[in-house]
Amino acid sequence: MRTFYQVMISATSVALFFGVWFVAGERQWVDPLLLPTLAEIGETTAELMRDGYRQVPLWEHIAVSLSRALAAFSAAIITGVPLGLLMGLSPPVAAVLNPFVQFLRPLPKIALIPLAVVWLGIGESSKFFLIFIATFLSVVVGATAAVARIGRTRIRVAQTLGATPGQIFLRVVLPDTLPELFTTVRLSIGVGWTSLIAAEMVAATSGLGWMVINASSYLRTDIVMLGILLLGGIGYLLDLLLVGLQKALVPWAGRDA
């Protein structure tokens, strides 16, 4: 019942937001060039669904951005989670790698575009790299922190009872860190998704990020707003998917031990 009320409150707040936007547009409280009306965005959506943007269908822009992001997310999670867990379990490994991770993590990823182009060219590899590095570094930091929050007493008890390192990892470390790892992945994918626009600045001809950047140069704020709504909506759906996976795979998350 509590979840139902939360959903209703969220739905009401969203409806109120769009209601205010609709009224503001209809009464021209804001210049349409700065804030297009919902009707205009609806017409633009229909136009792009029918004719595409720069000869590329809207669904293809969405599919291209999703394929780029999901490929980079998958690689970042597969490599970043084990490395982060290793850093958390092994202080020497953490001491070696942590300076590089902490140096690169806050670095604006847009600053890496020139290097990405020089190293990887202007194809898909450079776009993959920019999304991957943003996600990977956040995953590593989060996974390392997840291990640090494990009660060391539990590990010592397992060692005292004769558990092997593999058993300790599977029976103690992994169950304790999985809830934190899911949270880390959610936050990291959010960071990676925001780097999509930076990635699609590299000689792209399709993708939602490229569409937003290109449309802004022609003052097509209706297309810019549509792109922003799609980027935010897809990011929200990805987060909901991860929350659902967490509830299914880690049902003990959030419960008292």
The sign of the CA dihedral 206, 212, 217, 218 is positive
Enumerate the domain spans of the chain: 37-249
**What's the mean pLDDT in 89-96?**
90
**What's the mean pLDDT in 1-10?**
78
Residue 159: what pLDDT? 73
Residue 254 pLDDT class (50, 70, 90 cuts): low
Q: Per residue in 151-174, pLDDT tens?
A: 666 777 777 777 777 777 777 788
Range with the lowest mean pLDDT among 74-83, 152-161, 231-240?
A: 152-161
pLDDT exceeds 60 at position 1? no
Q: How far is CA 43 from CA 49, 228, 239, in A?
A: 10, 16, 28
Q: Both tokens of residue 17?
A: 């937001």
Query: To which H or E segment does residue 105 belong?
Result: none
Range with the lowest mean pLDDT among 94-98, 151-155, 178-182?
A: 151-155
Residue 204: what pLDDT? 80
Residue 99: what pLDDT? 93
Bigger pLDDT: 116 or 79?
Answer: 79
pLDDT exceeds 90 at position 135? yes
Residues β-bridged to residue 53: 56
Bigger pLDDT: 25 or 85?
Answer: 85
Class of domain 37-249: mainly alpha
Residue 236 pLDDT class (50, 70, 90 cuts): very high
